[in-house]
Structure 1
């Protein structure tokens, strides 16, 4: 032990009463034990008014307020959201006119199409990468590349082209397709592709120019909707790079063009906190009047919780 520590006089320590101290946690904010047979609204009321308990209620209230006031509620996502079985809930929110735009990266249309076509998706990559069979399902490539051709011929976006094709082919599980329901309900579904990231890009019939043009169309549609996001809500679920980057570019674009985009809510939902969603969704765009929140958890738990809360409130 050093000489300086030997000579510290602990008896001279300055103290104060805990009754005079500001504390960040109060028992009035504690959770309430669950009572058997209570409603879901009662369950939400039992959550502590602390950290994510507060954030969850804030997100639910923000979505409800935007919906009641006819303001946008935009839902962006990675393909993992489909793979965790969330399509029925998202479609229900589209039908109830809560969600006003759906956006996804390139993997989203792959899982969406396969779900509609055969009721299954998400191959075992670890098992198939060794023998080179990963991503080689012929039907997936054929139909999405056909949708890309249709987008080129009809001068439409990629999301609508995939949805229209699923409806035209009358796939058995089309009612579980996000793009098909978007097309049927006339709700924009935008798809934002990074060339080389998706299995269809490996196939010989892939037309990169046509795909890029269709995805650019969707970016312009996306930006048009973001231009009206004031007092609305933007949710990003599970996209770690593509959708956060697309959103940030759309925000600066519409502000540059003179649109008012100051007071809105952004939400990031994922099971870890990634750099880009935190900076490009939660923090940077909402500086000023806006509010950004990040709730950490699994999609298959958070998304049902949030939208069940929305339905209870609406």
Structure 2
């Protein structure tokens, strides 16, 4: 017998427009020409080395992947990330579910970030109409269309809306394609259930995004540069909304993981930048690198000349590139994300810096 489940339909969902937000994108974004601060000579030397490796990777048409945590978006770094894409330096961006949400909220309403302590106490944290409704619906639409997680949201931002088919079309599609396209039929049936449950009218659903110029995933979609989302179920505020649909999350996130793994498979003489992501980035990288090596080895090849730079605020005095993996009695051994990336082969460095200063310096030196 199934375990009892929480009924999200009973939630009192407040309007997003009434939420107090702490970050306003027009006021708080970081201009691309802002001078980075607090960078030591040794840090600048490592950034210069990274710049040289990125330029070489692009000359060789190899992957330059930037994976980052949500604070990179929340810190107002969208202009720099967009510039790195437009100028051709970055070939793939990856973030977690929170990064997707902050980017979307900035595009939709120009502000994001709520007071967690206050709103949990009020029984209101994350329980907002527009964020939960539109992001989840975009994922349901994207799952039916065969898109990825970040791609689904980026498309909604870029087009400022979603295509909602007639229910009769979805019924007919399901009947006619159950054997030839079972995955898409399953997604179509899920879509049907959501349309009926929420009485969603067919046609183009207009969803204005007046601040979409600040959306990294919207710009990535327009430029056809992969921007992949790598969520963990239950981690993000969209899971509080009744529109949330696990199958759609799974389908789109799987597509993005495989897209990411494809980029990792092109990392020989390429560059991987992991900025402020202690869990998502190292975890998806090690699985993708293992799959990529599996295929390369079958063809007598091996990925071994890749360059990894890990950037975070935590101080570390251990030189991973020079001294290797520390012994288990050294606290540096438990610097989990560095340990993971060090074991991935290639050349790995760790840099202590604020993501704003690092990305500003990186872009300005590349340019």
Tell me the TM-score normalised to structure 2 length: 0.68
Q: Select 2:363's aligned residue among 295, 307, 312.
A: 307
CA distance in 2, matches of 1:237, 1:143: 28
Please give the secondary structure, in 2, of the residue aligned with 1:74. Answer: strand
CA shift for structure 1 position 224: 0.8
CA–CA separation in structure 2 for the residues paired with 1:86 and 1:228? 26
Deviation at 1:47, TM superposition (A): 6.3
Larger radius of gyration: 1
- Once superposed, what is the RMSD of the aligned Cα atoms? 2.0
Distance 2:61 2:294 in 1: 25
* Aligned equivalents of 2:135, 2:336: Cα separation in 1: 28
Q: Identify the residue that residue 62 of structure 1 maps to in structure 2.
A: 53
2:263 is aligned with 1:263? no
CA distance in 2, matches of 1:121, 1:105: 16
TM-superposition CA deviations, 1:131-187 (whole Å, max 9, x none): 111111211111110111111110111111100111222411111111111110000
| C-alpha distance in structure 2 between counterparts of 1:53 and 1:164, whole Å | 37
Higher RCO (CA < 8 A, seq sep 6+): 2
Q: In structure 2, the residue corresponding to 1:135 is in which secondary structure?
A: coil
Question: In 1, Cα distance between the equivalents of 2:245 and 2:335?
Answer: 32
CA-CA distance at 1:127 after TM superposition: 2.2
Note the alpha carbon deviations across 1:58-102, whole angstroms, 9 max, x for none.
112212222233222111011110011111100011011110001
Q: Say yes or no: does 1:218 pair with 2:256.
A: yes
Residues 197 and 246 from structure 1, CA distance in 2 versus in 1: closer, same or farther, beyond 3 angstroms? same
In structure 2, how many angstroms separate the alpha carbons of the residues matched to 1:249 and 1:260? 15
* Structure 1 segment 89-168 matched on structure 2, within 5 A: 89-168=80-159
Distance 1:135 1:245 in 2: 26
| Runs of 4+ displaced beyond 4 Å | none
Alignment partner, residue 175 of structure 1? 213
| Matched residue, 1:291 | 347
Aligned partner of 1:279 in structure 2 is 339
Q: Distance in 1 between matches of 2:129 and 2:266?
A: 40
Listed as ranges, the gaps of 5+ residues in structure 2 are 1-32, 161-207, 316-333
- For this pair of structures, how many residues does the alignment match? 263
Q: Distance in 2 between matches of 1:67 and 1:137?
A: 42
What are structure 1's unaligned runs of at least 5 residues?
1-39
Query: Partner of 2:274 in structure 1?
Result: 236
Three-state SS of the structure 2 residue aligned to 1:147 is helix
Indicate conservation of the 8 Å contact 1:72/1:232, yes or no: yes
Q: Which residue of 2 aligns with 1:52?
A: 43
Structure-2 separation of matches of 1:159 and 1:262: 29
Larger mean CA deviation between 178-187 and 168-177 belongs to 168-177
Q: Distance in 1 between matches of 2:56 and 2:336?
A: 27
